[in-house]
């Protein structure tokens, strides 16, 4: 199993690791909401000039807020903790090109769920509800802007925090500003 490889690598790491004395507070006082896509892992830090401890990263499928989660979902809860407990004073939502959630094919999703044992009777009757729950979208720029607007208007977050919307190209690493928060 992969977990066994991870545990073995961790043992090796711990044997060589020199602990860094980093604060749990992000040095640059910004939270970056981005996608969980594995292609972003090293590209992201290099393309944005980030180092360990600089920013608080929140990764979620599609860098999106699923419909119905705009007010009190996990992303808003995480940002509230970042702002009120960790001193974050700016937020950037960074979507990316070629995102897997931009390919919301209901038949494919439903078939994959059923193949892995999810009872079809437990799925929403309307397919669009399932795709909305997953957070699928058609246009990464619109989705990123929508997520930034949901953060800006959340009743749990202060109005004075700038929230930016950007898109990063997964091939070149180039950032495009979609909306600049003020």
Mind listing the pLDDT tens digit for each residue in 85-107?
999 999 999 999 999 888 777 78
- Tell me the pLDDT tens digit for each residue of 105-143: 778 888 888 899 988 777 766 566 777 777 788 899 999
Other C-beta atoms closer than 10 Å to the C-beta of 97 total 16
pLDDT of amino acid 31: 97
| SS3 of residue 136 by DSSP | coil
pLDDT of amino acid 121: 76
CA distance 120 to 123: 5
Q: Does the 27-102+138-179 domain belong in CATH 3.40.1050.10?
A: yes
In the chain, domain spans: 27-102+138-179
Please give the backbone phi and psi of residue 107, each rounded to the nearest 5 degrees, phi first: -60, -40
Tell me the torsion sign for CA atoms 103, 107, 108, 112: positive
With cut-offs at 50, 70 and 90, classify the pLDDT of residue 179. Answer: very high
CB-based contact 32:175 (threshold 8 Å): no
pTM: 0.86
Nearest 5°: the CA angle 174, 179, 182 is: 120
| SS3 of residue 41 by DSSP | helix
CA distance 23 to 40: 24
């Amino acid at each position: 199993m992969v977990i066994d490889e991870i545990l073995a690598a961790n043992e090796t790491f711990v044997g060589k690791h020199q602990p860094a004395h980093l604060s749990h507070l992000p040095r640059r006082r910004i939270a970056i909401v981005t996608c969980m896509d594995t292609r972003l892992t090293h590209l992201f830090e290099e393309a944005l000039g980030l180092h360990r401890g600089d920013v608080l990263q929140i990764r979620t499928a599609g860098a999106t807020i699923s419909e119905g989660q705009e007010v009190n979902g996990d992303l808003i809860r995480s940002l509230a903790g970042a702002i009120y407990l960790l001193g974050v004073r700016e937020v950037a939502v960074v979507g990316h090109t070629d995102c897997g959630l931009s390919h919301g094919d209901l038949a494919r999703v439903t078939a994959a769920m059923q193949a892995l044992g999810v009872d079809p009777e437990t799925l929403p009757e309307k397919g669009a509800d399932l795709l909305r729950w997953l957070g699928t979208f058609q246009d990464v720029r619109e989705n990123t802007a929508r997520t930034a607007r949901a953060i800006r208007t959340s009743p749990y977050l202060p109005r004075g925090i700038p929230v930016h919307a950007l898109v990063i190209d997964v091939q070149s690493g180039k950032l495009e500003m979609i909306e600049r928060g003020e």
